[in-house]
Amino acid sequence: MKKSALFAFLILGLGSAFATDEDGWASTYESLSAFQKSPVSKDGSLNPYANRPGYVKPIIDNLGNVLNSNWYVSASVPQSFTFEAGLPISIISIGDDDRNYTENAEFLGQSIAYETPTIFGDHRDMAQADDGRIYGNKTLNGLGLFTYPYIQLGASFYHARVVFRGMFLPSISELRKFNLFGFGLQYSFGHFFQYMLPPAVQPLDVSIVFGYNTSGIGYRPEDYEGELNLDVSTTNFAIVIGYKPVSFIEVMMSLGYQSAEMKSSGHLRGAATIDPGITVEGNNGFRFGLEVAFQLGKSFHPVVGFDYAGKSSFTTNVLYFKQQFGEDKTPDEIAKEKGFVRGAKKAEQTTESSEQSNETPAETNDAQLEETEEVPAVDEVSSEETSTEDSFNEE
């Protein structure tokens, strides 16, 4: 039973299924009570540990960052049909910021801020009196890394790409439900401008990426009836810029926005009643990424990278395969089809300037002279008119 509970903890990041021990680790009741919104349960009982979103926030912080990773494996999406599949993994280090948070409490009409452990935090010093805090979970406190497994499939055609990912586990003891479904979209724009660029810059490409995940997790600890349900949703929108210094290596940078949310629900009945109901936001905001992709042979396409969205994570698509069926036209072939000649306008302007500069001063003066002779002098016209008038007056 304890082995299956440990398995659930590693995947879910929930409260301990063990009872409070002499070292001061949080009990199941304390950890799961943090998900209850009201201090009064539906059966009328009081819950002094209710409504502690900061205590469980590291779960969605880490889970959101992991699920918002690995949506792209290249900034370029081919025109030819392409199929891809793999097991991408994102790994996040659990640091001090995941183990403690600042809690605000009201005392005698004043707000007091104090630091307290999260579900990943440390245990209570048993020499000190119980101060009403919820301390860390013994199992989760020993974790140094956070990850989330899933399978990913994708296909692309005419520079548009769609990606699907998922994972499903059957009920195993305390783990009552575990499923993940996600889909992503990508479109690249390089085919619109690469043929106009100099050869050295033609490997540059730009694309937009969107990804969405939804995950359902159900947990029922030992000695409890009912279930704690967690519904997780994440979104990621990014602009990806990629450049291939050589044909089989691509360096990518992404800039975008991500969001993550965890809603709790359910009902647990044991020594006391727990009614989960809080909603916790993850690291919502700016996201930055750097990745390097390798095309080894025709199919093997591993990717390694670094992401930052409130905290750092590392992505590894070591077992990733991508197969293209057909060959795309090169930028030079596209330019030929469109009748585009790189540098043509500049060459025409240079030729015209050369022709004008090759005219001799003598030719220029002769042309000006001819123009001058064609226009009658104003003085000569005036004198002829005057002479005619004088003759008429004499008569």
pLDDT digits (tens, 9 = 90+) for 235-269: 999 999 999 999 999 999 999 999 999 999 999 99
Q: Is 198 exposed, middle or buried (0-12, 13-18, 19+ CB in 10 A)?
A: exposed
User: Within 10 A of 115 (CB to CB), how many other CB atoms are there?
Assistant: 10
Of 337, 77, 380, nearest in space to 206 by CA = 77
Q: Which pLDDT score is estimated for 254?
A: 97
Structure tokens at 21: 């021990």
| Owner of token pair 């990773």 | 69
**Are the CB atoms for 73 and 301 separated by under 8 Å?**
yes
Q: How far, in Å, CA of 92 to CA of 89, rounded?
A: 10
Structure tokens at 12: 């879910």
Q: How far, in Å, CA of 85 to CA of 359, rounded?
A: 67
Q: Which pLDDT score is estimated for 176?
A: 85
| Cα 279 to Cα 57, 106, 306, distances in angstroms | 10, 21, 29
3-state SS, residue 347: helix
The structure's pTM equals: 0.80
Q: How far, in Å, CA of 227 to CA of 177, rounded?
A: 10
Q: Which pLDDT score is estimated for 199?
A: 92
Q: Which pLDDT score is estimated for 12?
A: 42
**Residue-wise DSSP of 157-174:** ETTEEEEEEEEEE--BTT
> What counts of helices (H) and strands (E) characterise the chain?
10, 17
**Are the CB atoms for 216 and 233 separated by under 8 Å?**
no
3-state SS, residue 351: helix
Q: Which pLDDT score is estimated for 143?
A: 87
Torsional sign, CA 133, 49, 217, 278: negative
Q: How far, in Å, CA of 378 to CA of 357, rounded?
A: 34
Phi, psi of 393 (to 5 degrees): -65, -35
Q: Which pLDDT score is estimated for 358?
A: 57
Q: Which pLDDT score is estimated for 378?
A: 43
Q: Which pLDDT score is estimated for 128?
A: 81
3-state SS, residue 264: strand
Q: Which pLDDT score is estimated for 289?
A: 96
Q: Identify the segments of the chain with pLDDT beneath 50.
A: 1-20, 347, 362, 364, 367, 369, 372, 375, 377-395
Q: How far, in Å, CA of 13 to CA of 62, rounded?
A: 10
Q: Which pLDDT score is estimated for 349?
A: 52
Distance separating the N- and C-terminal Cα atoms of the chain: 141
| Owner of token pair 């691509």 | 250
